[in-house]
Amino acid sequence: LVLTMGSDAVGAGRKIVVEIKNEKNKRYEAAVEELIIAKRNRKADIGVFVFSKQTAPDGMSNLIRNGKDIFVIWDNESNENDGYLEAALSLAKALISQDQSHENNNYDAANTLETAVQSLEQAVDNLDKISDSNRTIENQVTKINTFVGKAKKQVSLQTSALNGLIVSFKNM
């Protein structure tokens, strides 16, 4: 897929190549190489590589920028990762705008865009950290609930045993 910046956009005519893959065992390094080739073949300035959530490399962040290449994890069966995909595409447009600003010697605009790009990357990083913490908390809650269920069962068993002893003492 190739997106071309419209005539009303900064960087009109420049291209963003988007590679969407759902291949099992696709390594990040292989995606980097594939994006280099795709950009060259399609004469694109920026590349976006979309990994399927189901097949993305283990431990990969939801959004990574490597120079003019952006790697994102997206789930086409859920809207859970739509924000990351939208951020990746906005980031690609911002990088084109930033390049155009440099070429036009508009360094203030380029610096403003760089600050915005860095802020977006930091926000994504923070969101990833919060999501990781949330998963950890959910796992701990599941373990606690399992422990609580076992403890309740034990209390019930011990209460029955105690009641049995009380009845047996009463009958003595």
42 has pLDDT over 90: yes
100 has pLDDT over 90: no
110 has pLDDT over 90: no
Measured CA to CA, the distance from residue 124 to residue 158 in angstroms comes to: 50
* pLDDT at 27 (0 to 100): 93
Measured CA to CA, the distance from residue 52 to residue 71 in angstroms comes to: 11
pLDDT in tens, 136-148: 999 999 999 999 9
Measured CA to CA, the distance from residue 22 to residue 51 in angstroms comes to: 6
Task: With beta carbons less than 8 A apart as the criterion, state whether 48 and 18 touch.
Answer: yes
pTM of the model: 0.78
Measured CA to CA, the distance from residue 127 to residue 135 in angstroms comes to: 12
Task: Give strand pairing partners of 52.
Answer: 74
pLDDT in tens, 63-82: 999 999 999 999 988 888 89
